Amino acid sequence: MYQQADTAVIGAGIVGLATAYHLALKGRKVVVFERNPAPLGASFRNFGLVWTLGQKPGNIYERALYGRATWQQIARESGLPVEENGSMLLAYHADEAGVLEEFAATTGIRCEVLTPEAARQKSSAFRPGDCRPHCGARWR
């Protein structure tokens, strides 16, 4: 640990570590203070999903993509396992399918609207009878 640092970050959750990481990339000497022997906060307990699709198109979505790319880079460098599966949203009713179709057509986010059969081929966990008339999916 540095005896002298430019910046002290309090908390070794994802926000603290991301701040420390980016400051260090810029050449700053950073020290992180964590009150527990190991992080026990939300970052430790969460589900581990990096789900960019839920972000509003524009700056926030671009930031989410940057965050995902950062995770991918850190995973490559550290050997941390990351499963890149994409995500699939199911539409159970026609109005829901309409929302997915509009989303796919207008947001500019790379995604596709699938038939139930095409969705089943992407995931064996999916039962076509659950979904009508469409389901939407976004893949990396």
Ligand X SMILES: Cc1cc2nc3c(=O)[nH]c(=O)nc-3n(C[C@H](O)[C@H](O)[C@H](O)COP(=O)(O)OP(=O)(O)OC[C@H]3O[C@@H](n4cnc5c(N)ncnc54)[C@H](O)[C@@H]3O)c2cc1C
DSSP assignment of 88-122 equals EEE--SHHHHHHHHHHHHHS--S-EEE-HHHHHHH
The span from the CA of 15 to the CA of 29, in Å, is 17
Contact residue for ligand X among 34, 72, 101, 120 (CB under 6 A): 34
User: Does the footprint of ligand X cover residue 7 (CB under 6 A)?
Assistant: no
Alpha carbon 119 to chain centroid distance?
A: 21
Least Cβ distance, residue 65 to ligand X (angstroms): 14
Least Cβ distance, residue 62 to ligand X (angstroms): 16
Least Cβ distance, residue 86 to ligand X (angstroms): 15
In angstroms and rounded to an integer, the radius of gyration of the C-alpha atoms of the chain is: 20
User: Does the footprint of ligand X cover residue 116 (CB under 6 A)?
Assistant: no
User: Does the footprint of ligand X cover residue 45 (CB under 6 A)?
Assistant: yes
Contact residue for ligand X among 37, 48, 79, 129 (CB under 6 A): 48
Alpha carbon 74 to chain centroid distance?
A: 14
Q: Which residues bind ligand X (CB under 6 A)?
A: 10-16, 33-36, 39-43, 45-49
